Amino acid sequence: MLEKNFSDIYTKFKMSLYSKVFNQDIKVEDALSAMEVLCVELIYAMGRPTINEFASFAQLSPPNAAYKVGSLVKKGYVNKVRSEQDKREYYLEVTDKYMQTYGVTYDYIGTVMKRIRQRFSPEQVAELEDILGIIDDELMPEVKIQE
């Protein structure tokens, strides 16, 4: 039962993102493929990775990653910010354009959190927060995200 409930919640959040991806009313030249959305989501989750860090995590060759990033930069969904310490290196940042166009799935997280706070007592919400924190910090060490 726990596995099914957890899987269902995870699937609902994914489906929220997918429906936004496929139902956006945007210009063809600005539209992102599903793969491009996944790339931007990964960059966002990694929190300012370098191209090499992105390539390594996504298991892409550096040239392939650079090509994908170049396309995202050209469409205005990712910025390359030059490192102050090493001028040869760039950090990747998700733009406001992406967040306004595709990042609306994060609004759904806010909606669900609001509903949780309305439905459950403050003590239950605090317990859920503690449990989720433990899952994040201790039980999922294989996947690191930027805090």
Residues 12-24: tens digit of each pLDDT:
988 887 877 776 6
Does 147 fall in a domain?
no
Does 118 fall in a domain?
yes
Does 61 fall in a domain?
yes
Residue 30's alpha-carbon distances to 20, 26, 97, 126, in angstroms, are 15, 7, 10, 41
Does 146 fall in a domain?
no
Does 119 fall in a domain?
yes
Range of the domain at 65: 1-139
Q: At residue 84, does pLDDT exceed 70?
A: yes
Residue 20's alpha-carbon distances to 73, 79, 93, 95, 145, in angstroms, are 21, 22, 21, 17, 23
Summarize pLDDT for 90-144 with one digit per residue, the tens.
Answer: 999 999 999 888 776 678 888 999 999 999 999 999 999 999 999 999 999 888 7
Q: Give CA–CA dist 129/71, Å, rounded.
A: 38
Single-letter code of the amino acid located at 80:
K
Q: At residue 48, does pLDDT exceed 90?
A: yes
> pTM for the whole thing?
0.79
Does 95 fall in a domain?
yes
Residue 131's alpha-carbon distances to 9, 25, 27, in angstroms, are 15, 38, 42
pLDDT for residue 18: 80
Does 145 fall in a domain?
no
